A and B are shown apart, each in its own frame.
Chain A
Amino acid sequence: MQYLVSVIDDKTNSATPGELDATDAFNEGLVAEGHWIFAGGLSAPATATVIDSRGGEAVLTDGPFLESKEYLGGFWILEAPDLDVALKLAAAGSKACNRRVEVRPFL
């Protein structure tokens, strides 16, 4: 079972060296315990491009599809047997990166 753990932030690339170190250590633990699938930090929402090809031609729009004060700053994709394990991992992840996170199961 895979879970998306989204990091909620209102600034981009704002992690302190301490937060980065703690996150690295947390990631190493994920790999060691077999929970790691993928993770990464994202550039600012303003760097996004929305593409809509539903009409045949690709229509490009500058900026994110949703403007909001808080946004997805980064994410983990984790492997966990159930939500209890995913929540525990997410709680440790939130502590490591010092941000709020959201846990959402994959279909």
Chain B
Amino acid sequence: MVASLTKRFGDLDIAEESAAEAFAIAIERWPADGVPPNPGAWLTTTANRKAIDRIRREYKRDDKQKEAQMLYDDDPPEPLGAIDDERLRLIFTCCHPALAMETRMALTLRMVGGLTVPEIAHAFLVQETTMGQRITRAKAKIKAARIPYRVPSAEDLPARVTGVLAVLFLVFNEGYLATGPDTDPVRHDLTAEAIRLTRLIRILLPHDGEVAGLLALMLLTEARHTARVSASGELVPLAEQDRGAWDPALIAEGHRLVRERLASGVAPGRYQILAAINAVHTSAPDVRDTDWSQVVALYDQLVRVDPSPIVAMNRAIAVAELDGPEVALAAIDRLDGPLAGYHAYHATRADLLRRLGRSRQSRAAYDRAIELAGNTAETAYLTRRRDQLA
């Protein structure tokens, strides 16, 4: 409804406030008057009238009044399918590249996901007032700079979809490995919202391989979330997880998407390859059944698409299973420059050194990883591993 109002009135604030007003009137009237035969249409009509009232109040001038009246009268009621189109427009506006990445994430959760400002503030560990200001500033910029409310043109679409997916992936990751000393290790609200929004994009852009890939990746990751944190609140690495606790429905759906992309014959992008890697892991009933050569082959493919040091690090982790920890450590040590400040780099190194019996160096690497880790369950796991060293 906010999306449809935004389209009609070109103003996020008016859209949000009118929608809220319509709901408030419904809560007041429906218990006494009864629920109208088409509640959705009732709310939309009420919100439209409230928006026009608002515009009239804001602009007393005649021309603005006429403009608002024209907007209202000339716009026939839209078919149901149009709501999704409008939501898509809203997502592209919220994820506009002229907005800072953290602003895009916050705005998407607020405007598309419908989360409250306190909820978003909590998710990003900032003060409510700070988050409120960030969202207000973003809305002001959208209005003042006239960030268009539309789906980008075909030539711009691939780059803009990539931008939207990056926002959703960051929201998901923030939920899956939440940072902060007093935060739950897995923020299920964020992972669920990221999945819901990616599903929506998938409905709207069913032929986009990377959209399907990201959805599959999220589902196959989410499927493992109950096995990922132990009863004592420690992070459980993939190799040690109780695979019986994985969610078979999510895994089946993720595998279906991966198969669909493989059948398409189109060269996969980053998310599709990551999803395929996760499909290999979730296909193994026991960690010993993992097809590591397939995992390494997929990482080789990923390195070609995304030659970042983090991908090289994750490839080395798979190489350790195939060619042994010594080969993997040599590859990891080459990444010391770019990844020196990344906790997972030191945790990976610590594990490889431990497996090679180099306890003293392993301990030092665990110390560094613990120092840098922001997730409570991960810190607990790393600490135990370190303290188990001879």
Given contacts A83-B145, A105-B144, 10 further A-B contacts (CB under 8 A): A1-B146, A81-B148, A82-B147, A83-B98, A84-B148, A84-B152, A103-B145, A105-B145, A105-B146, A107-B144
**Chain B interface residue number, banded:** under 10
Question: Bound state CA distance, A86 and B148, in angstroms?
Answer: 11
A27 to chain B, nearest CB (A): 23
Once the chains bind, are B98 and A87 in contact (CB under 8 Å)?
Answer: yes
CB interface residues, A 14-54, toward B, < 8 Å: none
Once the chains bind, are A82 and B146 in contact (CB under 8 Å)?
Answer: yes
Question: Bound state CA distance, A105 and B152, in angstroms?
Answer: 20
Which A residues are in CB contact (< 8 Å) with B144? 105, 107
Question: Bound state CA distance, A26 and B152, in angstroms?
Answer: 24
Encode contact with A along B91-109: 1 for CB under 8 Å, 0 otherwise.
0000010100000000000
B357 to chain A, nearest CB (A): 53
Which A residues are in CB contact (< 8 Å) with B96? 83
- The contact sample of 19 A-B pairs, CB cut-off 8 A, is A1-B146, A81-B148, A82-B146, A82-B147, A82-B148, A83-B96, A83-B98, A83-B145, A83-B146, A83-B147, A83-B148, A84-B152, A84-B156, A86-B145, A87-B98, A103-B145, A104-B145, A105-B144, A105-B145
CB interface residues, B 116-166, toward A, < 8 Å: 144-148, 152, 156
CB interface residues, A 49-102, toward B, < 8 Å: 81-84, 86-87
Question: Bound state CA distance, A56 and B148, in angstroms?
Answer: 44
A79 to chain B, nearest CB (A): 12
Which B residues are in CB contact (< 8 Å) with A107? 144
Which A residues are in CB contact (< 8 Å) with B98? 83, 87
B221 to chain A, nearest CB (A): 33
Which B residues are in CB contact (< 8 Å) with A104? 145
